[in-house]
Structure 1
């Protein structure tokens, strides 16, 4: 660790906040009549979601976006964790380039967790499939769709779709991880450099706090979606263990300690935790990144949200 303070202009891996960008593009495509939220996955990806009880003929695009598909989360696969997340596998394979197909194949080697539509169950695989459908519906790459529909119109100059790059563009800080060892372990690894293709439409975007604030404020104010599609995005399903948290289409709403309801998303990746939230009117936003992953992200996020939105200075 260098001990140098971080910059307000730092870029960082936003992980699952990427999902909000993906859902926004798909909802734009729906508004254009290119795709329907109730289209079945099979229509767009014929034969892809089959086997071990998985069936794309029974799963809708909407169920991918609100995590009610039941499809297994490929990042929970023991082999994936051993090779790409934990030491020593990460250290050996951190620069490997992978394709979205690998994530899908890994997920489909497992049975689904529940019947499509039965309940909420978070799965990164949902957004790998959603990004593949986005490409089919738009006729362009996932990267081109997000760049031309969101990044360029909003002037998000610090936001990058990294592809197979292993670097975080400057200015940026380092990212540190225990790589799945005991949280009390003394060994902390610099994990800043890692091939971004090991995540994709489920979590590969690199951005800044300022860009995330601009994006979520614009989104919730209706600058990116027509009213009908924004209402679809904000139609939520319950979290089975947390009544103060509900998930829509690529965005969540949750209650701060003082009872204020916020819209936003968060994301954890190797060596990093990020969160971006806004009030209902889009006027008060907060984006943050922690460049270490051995503390409890939810606790850190909750404390910061409380200070920002619940204190007299923040209200």
Structure 2
């Protein structure tokens, strides 16, 4: 315990000061392991968090999508520098987009110029308020609907110009996987990623599934706009000022349909499986060397509204070494209502920490404090 006393203090503060109902940290450091918790898995019963819980990994699913496409490239079935129109003619040729200029690489690196998908009125009007969420929490999105949402607003930049986090790019990437293989996205994730890695507790969530295998924590959310706020007025700049006032009780969002995530993030897993998955991604044990290099060819996220002090590869991130004092640390993560997961580790895969909270992302500072406690690195200090 003494070796992880600082980390345990961070977990305790997450509950006491940040408002996280429950948090777990799963550490693998060479042959040593450690598992810590704080808070509860269920606010009503007071049941504690515990090892082996299943949870939604949010945008960590983007990494699975990138891994599938890179595996298909290694099989000679496509190139990540193929244009979208080479596989899905016309899908992007609306609202100022050009499917002859946007490549699969652009989609996977969030440099396609696609607008932030979460700001689409089709999404925000359904889920932005508590009442809207309760009414629409079991809505199902088809792939065709998601592709329309992806291009429903004009571009925010030219292809390759800059980083802008966009789920829509991964919707299109998922549709390319299905077009090229003739299989479902979920089947290709299983064939190329989860089965080869032995991830027995990991799967793409079926469209009709609204719950989790046992054990799992309850999920709680405050991710809603205040009453009277107009979702149409939501921008990357003002969204925080429109959020509902602190102090309201959280909404239990455990049961929901997460088909909105699709290939941008709809994977259910455990901390143990995600540590194994992340180790394969960071060391290159799953993909051939050429594809592994592509995955970790990064672009700066500076100037975006995403996580600071990072560079983004294909579905994953790396902390900017200027912010880590020269130490290389890589990561994967994601958030949605009632769930936030991240894993951070060394490139050799020997030292990784996986963290889950049963509420959505609240502050990057929590991740940075975890990294400081576990790796002795002060991000951005």
What TM-score does the superposition give when structure 2 sets the normalisation length?
0.78
Unaligned runs of at least 5 residues, structure 1: none
Q: 2:140 aligns with which of 69, 87, 97?
A: 97
Query: CA-to-partner distance for each residue in 1:254-292, whole Å, 9 max, x for gaps?
Result: 158753321121111011111012201111111111111
Counting only pairs closer than 5 Å after superposition, residues 1-315 of structure 1 correspond to structure 2 as 1-2=43-44, 3-164=46-207, 165-180=209-224, 181=226, 182-241=244-303, 244-255=309-320, 259=325, 260-293=327-360, 295-296=362-363, 298-310=364-376
Question: How has the CA–CA distance of structure 1 residues 171 and 85 changed in structure 2, closer, same or farther, with 3 Å as cutoff?
Answer: farther
TM-score under structure 1 normalisation?
Answer: 0.94
Alpha-carbon distance in 2 for matches of 1:65, 1:294 = 22
Deviation readout 1:215-272 (Å, 9 max, x if unpaired): 1112222211111110111111111237731011111101587533211211110111
SS in 2 for 1:265: strand
In structure 2, the CA distance between the partners of 1:59 and 1:221, relative to structure 1 (3 Å rule), is same
**Closer/same/farther in 2, CA of residues 258 and 55 from structure 1, 3 Å limit:** closer
Equivalent-residue separation in structure 1 for 2:316 and 2:361 (angstroms) = 25
Aligned residues of 2:69 and 2:177 also touching (Cα < 8 A): yes
With over 3 angstroms needed to count, the CA separation of the structure-2 counterparts of 1:247 and 1:194, relative to structure 1, is same
Q: Larger C-alpha radius of gyration, 1 or 2? A: 2
Q: CA deviation at 1:173?
A: 0.3
Determine the C-alpha separation between the residues in 1 that align with 2:77 and 2:57.
28
1:5-38: CA deviation from partner (whole Å, max 9, x where unpaired): 1111111100100011110110011111100111
CA distance in 2, matches of 1:244, 1:295: 17
Q: CA deviation at 1:142?
A: 0.5
Deviation by residue 1:69-116 (Cα, 9 ceiling, x = unmatched): 001222112341120343111100111111122222123221000011
Partner of 1:51, secondary structure, is coil
How far off is 1:183 after superposition?
A: 5.0
CA distance in 2, matches of 1:85, 1:11: 26
Deviation readout 1:25-76 (Å, 9 max, x if unpaired): 1001111110011110011111111211012111001100111100122211
Deviation at 1:145? Answer: 0.5
Q: Which 5+ residue runs of structure 2 have no aligned equivalent?
A: 1-42, 227-243
Give the whole-Å Cα distance in 2 for the aligned partners of 1:10 and 1:107. Answer: 32
Distance apart, 1:294 and its partner CA: 6.8
- Between stretches 186-195 and 216-225, larger displacement belongs to 216-225
Aligned partners of 2:353, 2:125: CA distance in 1, in Å? Answer: 34
How far apart, CA to CA, are the structure 2 residues paired with 1:243 and 1:299?
10
Number of residues paired by the alignment? 310
